[in-house]
Structure 1
Amino acid sequence: MEIGCSSSSQCCTLISKCTVFPDKKSTLGDLKLSVSDLPMLSVHYIQKGGLFTSPPISIESLVALLKSGLSQALSHFPPLAGRLRTDSNGYVYITSNDEGVEFIHATATKLYICDILAPPDVPDCVKEFFALDRTVSYDGHFKPILVVQITELADGIFIGCTVNHAVTDGTSFWNFFNTFAEKSRGVKSISKQPDFTRSSRLISPVVLQLPKSGPKVSFSVNEPLRERIFSFSGEAIKKLKARTNKNKTVEISSFQSLSALLWRSVTRARKLPSTKMTTFRMAVNCRHRLEPKLDPYYFGNAIQSIPTLASAGDVLSRDLRWCAEQLNKNVMAHDNATVRRFVENWESDPKCFPLGNFDGASMTMGSSPRFPMYDNDFGWGRPLAVRSGRANKFDGKISAFPGREGEGSVDLEVILAAETMAGLGADSEFMQYVSK
Structure 2
Amino acid sequence: MTIETYTIYPTKKYNRPPPPSRIVLHGLDLLSPPIHILNHRFYRPPTDSITNVIDKLKSSLADALELYPPVAGTVRTDENDEVYIALDAENISDIQFLVEMRDTPFVGDSEDLSPRTVVLLPPLSSTLAVKVTRFSCGTIAVASSIHHQVADLRDGWSRNPGRFFPDLIKESSLPTFPPPPFTVLSIPQTGVPAYLLAPSDVTRWKFTKNAMERLKLDFSPSIVSSDERKSDLWISSGDALAALLSGVITRARKNSKVSRS
Tell me, yes or no, if structure 1 residue 86 matches structure 2 residue 77.
yes
Q: Counterpart in 2 of 1:77? A: 68
1:26·1:96 contact (CA, 8 Å) conserved in 2?
Answer: no
1:47·1:161 contact (CA, 8 Å) conserved in 2?
Answer: yes
Alpha-carbon distance in 1 for matches of 2:49, 2:67: 28
Query: Cα offset for 1:196?
Result: 6.3
Q: Which residue, 35, 52, 75 being the options, matches 2:43? A: 52
2:72·2:95 contact (CA, 8 Å) conserved in 1?
Answer: yes
Query: Cα offset for 1:170?
Result: 10
Q: Counterpart in 2 of 1:131? A: 115
Q: Counterpart in 2 of 1:110? A: 104
- Matched to 1:108, the amino acid is R
Larger Rg: 2
Structure 1, gaps ≥5 residues long: 1-12, 117-124, 176-191, 208-332, 339-404, 409-436
Aligned in 2, Cα 1:80/1:26: closer, same or farther, shift over 3 Å? farther
SS at match of 1:72: helix
CA displacement, residues 315-356 of structure 1 (integer Å, 9 cap, x when unaligned): xxxxxxxxxxxxxxxxxx9x9957xxxxxxxxxxxxxxxxxx
Tell me, yes or no, if structure 1 residue 151 matches structure 2 residue 151.
no
Q: Which aligned pairs between 1:4-15 and structure 2 lie closer than 5 A?
A: 13-15=1-3
2:24·2:85 contact (CA, 8 Å) conserved in 1?
Answer: yes
Q: Counterpart in 1 of 2:152? A: 169
CA displacement, residues 6-40 of structure 1 (integer Å, 9 cap, x when unaligned): xxxxxxx4420121000128711110011111122
Alpha-carbon distance in 2 for matches of 1:336, 1:148: 46
Tell me, yes or no, if structure 1 residue 142 matches structure 2 residue 124.
yes
Q: Counterpart in 1 of 2:25? A: 33
Alpha-carbon distance in 2 for matches of 1:336, 1:46: 36
Alpha-carbon distance in 1 for matches of 2:142, 2:237: 25
2:7·2:94 contact (CA, 8 Å) conserved in 1?
Answer: yes
Greater per-residue strand proportion: 1
Alpha-carbon distance in 1 for matches of 2:59, 2:160: 19
SS at match of 2:105: coil
* Identity of matched residues, %: 23
Aligned in 2, Cα 1:50/1:87: closer, same or farther, shift over 3 Å? same
Q: Which residue, 53, 62, 67 being the options, matches 1:62? A: 53
Alpha-carbon distance in 2 for matches of 1:50, 1:146: 16
2:24·2:82 contact (CA, 8 Å) conserved in 1?
Answer: yes
1:80·1:101 contact (CA, 8 Å) conserved in 2?
Answer: no
TM-score by length of 2: 0.56
Aligned in 2, Cα 1:81/1:200: closer, same or farther, shift over 3 Å? closer
1:14·1:104 contact (CA, 8 Å) conserved in 2?
Answer: no
SS at match of 1:104: strand
Aligned in 2, Cα 1:337/1:158: closer, same or farther, shift over 3 Å? farther
Aligned in 2, Cα 1:195/1:147: closer, same or farther, shift over 3 Å? farther
List structure 1 runs of 4+ shifted beyond 2 angstroms: 97-100, 192-201, 203-207, 335-338, 405-408
SS at match of 2:31: helix
2:46·2:138 contact (CA, 8 Å) conserved in 1?
Answer: no
2:5·2:99 contact (CA, 8 Å) conserved in 1?
Answer: yes
Tell me, yes or no, if structure 1 residue 23 matches structure 2 residue 11.
yes
Structure 2, gaps ≥5 residues long: 165-175, 185-191, 197-234, 239-261
Query: Cα offset for 1:67?
Result: 0.8
Computed over aligned residues only, the root mean square deviation of the Cα atoms, in angstroms, reads 3.5
Greater Cα shift, 70-79 or 128-137? 128-137
Alpha-carbon distance in 1 for matches of 2:30, 2:163: 16
1:82·1:100 contact (CA, 8 Å) conserved in 2?
Answer: no
Tell me, yes or no, if structure 1 residue 204 matches structure 2 residue 181.
yes
Alpha-carbon distance in 2 for matches of 1:127, 1:196: 38
Alpha-carbon distance in 2 for matches of 1:336, 1:23: 48
1:76·1:193 contact (CA, 8 Å) conserved in 2?
Answer: no
SS at match of 2:126: coil
Alpha-carbon distance in 2 for matches of 1:72, 1:193: 20
TM-score by length of 1: 0.35
Alpha-carbon distance in 1 for matches of 2:73, 2:144: 16
SS at match of 1:36: helix
